[in-house]
Structure 1
Amino acid sequence: MGLYLVEPVVAIYAFASFLVYPLVQQYVYRRLWEEITNTTYPVEDQSSRCGNNSNHSSPHEVVQRAASLFSLYSELFSMIPSLVVTLLLVAYSDHRGRKITIVLPLVGSLVYAVSFLAISFFQLNLYLLVVSNFVSSLFGGVGTLLGGCFAYIADLCEDSKQRTLRMAGVDMVIGLLSGVASLSTGYFLRAAGFNWPFVTSTLIQCANLLYVVFVLEETVKRREDPLLAPEDGPSHRRPVLRLVYGVYLLFAAGGRRRNTLLTLLLLTFTFYTFANMGGLSMVTLYELNAPLCWSEILIGYGSALSTVVFLTSFVGITLFSRCLRNVTIVFIGLVSVMSGLAMVAFAKTTLLMFLVRIPMLLAIMPAPVLRSMMSKVVTKSEQGALFACVAFLESLSSNVAFAVFSSLYAATVAWYPGFSFLLASGLCLLPMALLSAVVFIGPEEGKEAEAILTQEESYPDDDEPCA
């Protein structure tokens, strides 16, 4: 008998991914250092790597720019395939089940881990990492996996509060397990080099894939769509038509007020993700930069400490949901992000960089609360289409943010490395403004939103073919 527990999948995926993810930038940084300077990377002597001179053409700054641009190329090549697959697969799950949105990203992650292992072990061309990232993106990415998992949870949870807490729980296990992995990578790297973490990640991904295929139960029963029956066109076109139709109907079948509310929530989520991910994406390079010059051990400690944010955000949602409206909880989370990123821009010592995590203790709260708010606005048969859009926008904003902030960091690292974090902090004003418009239209707890939800139940139900 199977289980309806998707949280272990996310937890194992987070652990396996973050066992490798902190090493990616470090591996690229070391390889580029060796290629640019024609010298061995100074593991022990931090001062020789960072230096204290102000020459803008120093090897340290050249490697910083090269590493950020390499990350930019890697993200750009994988962005479009990952976005398309995310949108199609998660919407497709409304008709053919959620497990396909979980299985394929796990296969892609396995392909990436094996490719990284081969490149590291055989010292292959560094730019093959870009190719492997592109290939793995054809199976979807973390957006596809999370979109499917959140839709899976929405299928199981009828109660809004229970749905919010369980979605927040998913974010929490991501943070905690990624923190444990990040904490161990520094010691793992120093003791065994790059290869063994990649081997370990590969084996864990295989075990996770077996759990999903053979143990995890499906929540959606397969059903045919009469509007897209075989006689309406070639059979190979029906799945694509079904996918496009499901996403289109998410807005076409809704009332004007519901569509406005849903659009504002989607935009709020998108700009929050852009600002948060854009700022955080450059933290590792910033920590490698002077005057911090962190070693792999300190980077591991910093990454692990950052994951406490997921736990404190979950506790915050649990407590605040008893006495505050969802919109207020999101506002508090946005203020947390803004203050934390602003503090990073001025962190010049190791102690201050560790203390940055304090104002960001509630920074993850907006994501699960906004997902729950959007999930409540649509009907049960539209959850897959909704989370396809959410996952698509999350992946798009994350990838664009990474590309934009990588370019920005490369352009500003010589005169002010903290500029990217100040910009990300200021961008938090955009989701705040959009959230204010949500309050003006009618929060989900109010009578107007309840009328919207009641009205939406009169639209296509689970027995009709237009999910």
Structure 2
Amino acid sequence: MVQPSRCQAAVTVLRGIEPVLVLEQLGSSFFDTALLMVVKDRSVNASYPDAHLSREESQQKAMTDFYMTYNLVILLTTILPALLLARLGDRSRRKVPIVVSLGGYLMSRVVLLLVVLFRLPLEVMFGSAALFGLCGGFAAFWSGVMTVASLGSAAADRSKVLMRVELLYGITGLVGSLLSGHLFLLYNTSLGNGTLLLSLGTLMNLLCFIHSAVLLQVKQATNQEAEEDSQILSDVSSTAAATEAPAGINKVNMALLFAAAVLYVSAVGGAVEILPMFVMKEPLSWTATQVGYGNAAGCVIFITSFLCVVVFRRCIGDIPLIMIGMVSFASGIFFMSFVTATYMFYIARSLNMFALIPMPTIRSLLSQQVPASSCGITLTALQLSLKFAGLAYIPASTKIYQKTLNWFPGLIFLLAATLTVLAMIPISVIGCRSAQRRDYEKIREH
């Protein structure tokens, strides 16, 4: 009797979303390190005679310009396909956003591998970015994953379930990042740097695509709470034990959640956009191995954020958890502004240990405001709002970094900390509104 139960459990895990997350994140970890190192190598001889820049400044400008264009192409091409895929997903085809977006992941990995093998111009990657975006990109993939995870859980447990997804994603990223720096150095000189790393990453994405198309099974929670998501913020925002929510949708609170998410992601995205280039320049001057370790340090945040949710979830609600995460990021990124040595970088990252709590918690709260039939489009609308914000913060952070490269390259991190503080305001307003509503309900009871 034990053996069949174990086999059934193994099949359940195999057909769940977990293998998709593991394979995709491994492939992405390998790809991110490889792309950064390829861009660095191709930017060594960049020159800007009119700007009178030094060799290192020219390399930094070339790298930031590439990533700015690359990310903007992805953002612009992602918007409409992600909406269409989300609509299709809400029409009982939940796997479609995940499968199609993973096809885009696979094609982009293949293109970078071809760029390395055949010495193609780096600009070819802009076409790869367009293909990736037209397949829905990360917006479609992550919204699809979050929708599947949300519908498979009850509303009361949703924050913890979504954080568990983030935890698995982070652990896999930690392993992939630690390996990526070492794998990048293992190459055949006749083929080019990163060939082995990119080949393994492409294989991971191929297996992920096949798994999502053939084996992935979408389940929906039988608990009636999963169908009562049209209720507005419940007392869970202030106490973990409460599960009832007032009827109707409070549009003010919905708008505040969107505003907080946009401000926070703008802060995080602007800082993370610049961080890879920041560690490449003096005085840090990281190698491929150090880049892998640095990415791994970022992935540890997934684990510490999850542990924070598990430990404090029983005594505090979602709103305080979001505030803890925002304070964590603001303090860490503020310290990052003054980093001049590698050990200081890791100190700054350690302060960011709870920085990933806000977004899955905000997504959890939003998913509880709509019926299951609209869950996918709601989460995708949030994701696309964040993408539109990227159209502003990506070029802004790039240009600010380039302008302050000589006198204070960490200024962009100070600005990110300021934006995070601003993001705390709408969350605080939601907390105050929830407290007032609870007081009013207690008065009515008496």
CA contact (8 A) 2:102 2:209 kept: yes
Structure 1 residue 293, shift from structure 2 partner:
1.2
The answer as to 2:128 corresponding to 1:132 is yes
> What are the superposed Cα offsets for residues 313-361 of structure 1, whole Å, 9 maximum, x if unpaired?
0000111111012100100100001001101110101111121111111
The structure 2 residue matched to 1:34, chosen from 26, 41, 45, is 45
- The correspondence of residues 378-397 of structure 1 with structure 2, limited to 5 A, is 378-397=370-389
Aligned-partner SS, 1:317: helix
The whole-number CA distance in structure 2 between the counterparts of 1:27 and 1:9 is 27
- The correspondence of residues 30-179 of structure 1 with structure 2, limited to 5 A, is 30-36=41-47, 57-160=53-156, 162-179=157-174
Aligned residue in 2 for 1:288: 280
Aligned-partner SS, 1:191: coil
Percent pairwise identity = 24
Structure 1 residue 394, shift from structure 2 partner:
3.0
> What are the superposed Cα offsets for residues 346-393 of structure 1, whole Å, 9 maximum, x if unpaired?
010111112111111101011111111111222222212211212212
The whole-number CA distance in structure 2 between the counterparts of 1:25 and 1:448 is 55
The answer as to 2:356 corresponding to 1:364 is yes
The whole-number CA distance in structure 1 between the counterparts of 2:436 and 2:360 is 15
The whole-number CA distance in structure 2 between the counterparts of 1:284 and 1:183 is 16
Aligned residue in 1 for 2:421: 429
Over aligned residue pairs, what C-alpha RMSD do you find?
2.6
- The correspondence of residues 197-212 of structure 1 with structure 2, limited to 5 A, is 197-212=197-212
One-letter amino acid of the counterpart of residue 370, structure 2: V
CA contact (8 A) 1:341 1:422 kept: yes
CA contact (8 A) 2:45 2:59 kept: no
The answer as to 2:315 corresponding to 1:323 is yes
The whole-number CA distance in structure 1 between the counterparts of 2:99 and 2:393 is 27
The whole-number CA distance in structure 1 between the counterparts of 2:436 and 2:36 is 41
Structure 1 residue 264, shift from structure 2 partner:
1.0
Aligned residue in 2 for 1:225: none
CA contact (8 A) 1:12 1:204 kept: yes
Change (3 A) 1:122 1:337: same
CA contact (8 A) 1:72 1:407 kept: no
The whole-number CA distance in structure 2 between the counterparts of 1:94 and 1:16 is 27
Structure 1 residue 219, shift from structure 2 partner:
4.1
Which protein has greater RCO, CA pairs closer than 8 Å, 6+ apart? 1
Aligned-partner SS, 1:328: helix
The whole-number CA distance in structure 2 between the counterparts of 1:163 and 1:5 is 17
> What are the superposed Cα offsets for residues 50-75 of structure 1, whole Å, 9 maximum, x if unpaired?
xxxxx972100111011101111112
Change (3 A) 1:147 1:57: same
Change (3 A) 1:443 1:271: farther
Change (3 A) 1:31 1:444: farther
The answer as to 2:269 corresponding to 1:277 is yes
The whole-number CA distance in structure 1 between the counterparts of 2:307 and 2:438 is 25
The whole-number CA distance in structure 1 between the counterparts of 2:203 and 2:286 is 30
Q: 5+ unaligned residues in a row in structure 2: which ranges?
A: 1-7, 188-192, 221-231, 233-245, 442-446
The whole-number CA distance in structure 1 between the counterparts of 2:258 and 2:24 is 26
How many residues in Structure 1 have an aligned counterpart in Structure 2?
A: 401
One-letter amino acid of the counterpart of residue 351, structure 1: Y
Change (3 A) 1:379 1:444: farther
Q: 5+ unaligned residues in a row in structure 1: which ranges?
A: 38-54, 221-249, 450-467
Change (3 A) 1:290 1:351: same
One-letter amino acid of the counterpart of residue 205, structure 2: Q
The whole-number CA distance in structure 2 between the counterparts of 1:444 and 1:78 is 43
Aligned residue in 2 for 1:48: none
Structure 1 residue 404, shift from structure 2 partner:
2.3
The whole-number CA distance in structure 1 between the counterparts of 2:377 and 2:436 is 20
The whole-number CA distance in structure 1 between the counterparts of 2:436 and 2:24 is 32
Change (3 A) 1:190 1:434: same
Change (3 A) 1:175 1:403: farther
One-letter amino acid of the counterpart of residue 157, structure 1: S
Aligned-partner SS, 2:250: helix
> What are the superposed Cα offsets for residues 59-114 of structure 1, whole Å, 9 maximum, x if unpaired?
00111011101111112222111122222212331113210010011000100000
One-letter amino acid of the counterpart of residue 99, structure 1: K
The answer as to 2:32 corresponding to 1:25 is no
Aligned residue in 1 for 2:401: 409
One-letter amino acid of the counterpart of residue 194, structure 1: G
Change (3 A) 1:349 1:93: same
One-letter amino acid of the counterpart of residue 361, structure 2: V
TM-score, normalised by the number of residues in structure 1: 0.81
Structure 1 residue 255, shift from structure 2 partner:
8.8
The answer as to 2:430 corresponding to 1:438 is yes
Aligned residue in 2 for 1:188: 183
The whole-number CA distance in structure 2 between the counterparts of 1:165 and 1:403 is 34
Aligned residue in 2 for 1:305: 297
The whole-number CA distance in structure 2 between the counterparts of 1:28 and 1:200 is 19
One-letter amino acid of the counterpart of residue 170, structure 1: V
The whole-number CA distance in structure 1 between the counterparts of 2:332 and 2:360 is 19
Change (3 A) 1:263 1:412: same
Aligned-partner SS, 2:44: helix
One-letter amino acid of the counterpart of residue 212, structure 1: S
CA contact (8 A) 1:69 1:410 kept: no
The whole-number CA distance in structure 2 between the counterparts of 1:404 and 1:444 is 39
Change (3 A) 1:194 1:320: same
Change (3 A) 1:56 1:323: farther
CA contact (8 A) 2:186 2:194 kept: no
Structure 1 residue 196, shift from structure 2 partner:
1.4
Structure 1 residue 301, shift from structure 2 partner:
1.1
The whole-number CA distance in structure 1 between the counterparts of 2:436 and 2:134 is 36
- The correspondence of residues 339-358 of structure 1 with structure 2, limited to 5 A, is 339-358=331-350
TM-score, normalised by the number of residues in structure 2: 0.84
